[in-house]
Amino acid sequence: MNRTKNLNVLDWIVLILIIIGGLNWGLIGFFGYNLIDAIFGLTIARIIYVLVGLATIYLLIISSKLHKREIIAARV
């Protein structure tokens, strides 16, 4: 089953924010380079970091709900 058809606009935004955050942390870890700060400056970067954090919380909540739904579906 193609699960991307089930994603709404918020899910796509969250996915993009998580990818951006992960890539940025990878750059920081490997090269000590913060791409978000370099592109947007510190003030806007802090807003982006908050959005990435909120997206992560959303993803945690949704993934636990999806996991429960998968378990229930597997039992049927």
pLDDT tens, residue order, the chain (76 aa): 555 567 789 999 999 999 999 999 999 999 999 999 999 999 999 999 999 999 999 999 988 777 666 666 666 6
Q: What is the pLDDT of residue 31?
A: 97
Number of domains in the chain: 1
Q: What does each C-alpha distance from 25 to 5, 44, 57 come to in angstroms?
A: 29, 17, 17
Note the Cα 27 to chain centre separation in Å: 16
Instruction: Identify the pLDDT of residue 71.
Output: 64
pTM assigned to the model: 0.76
Domain residue limits at 28: 3-75
Kindly state the DSSP code that residue 6 receives in the 8-state scheme: G
The gap from C-alpha 50 to its chain's centroid, in whole angstroms, comes to 11
Six token digits for residue 60: 């945690």
pLDDT value of position 63: 85
Q: Is 76 helix (H, G, I), strand (E, B) or coil?
A: coil
In the prediction, which pLDDT does 73 show? 63
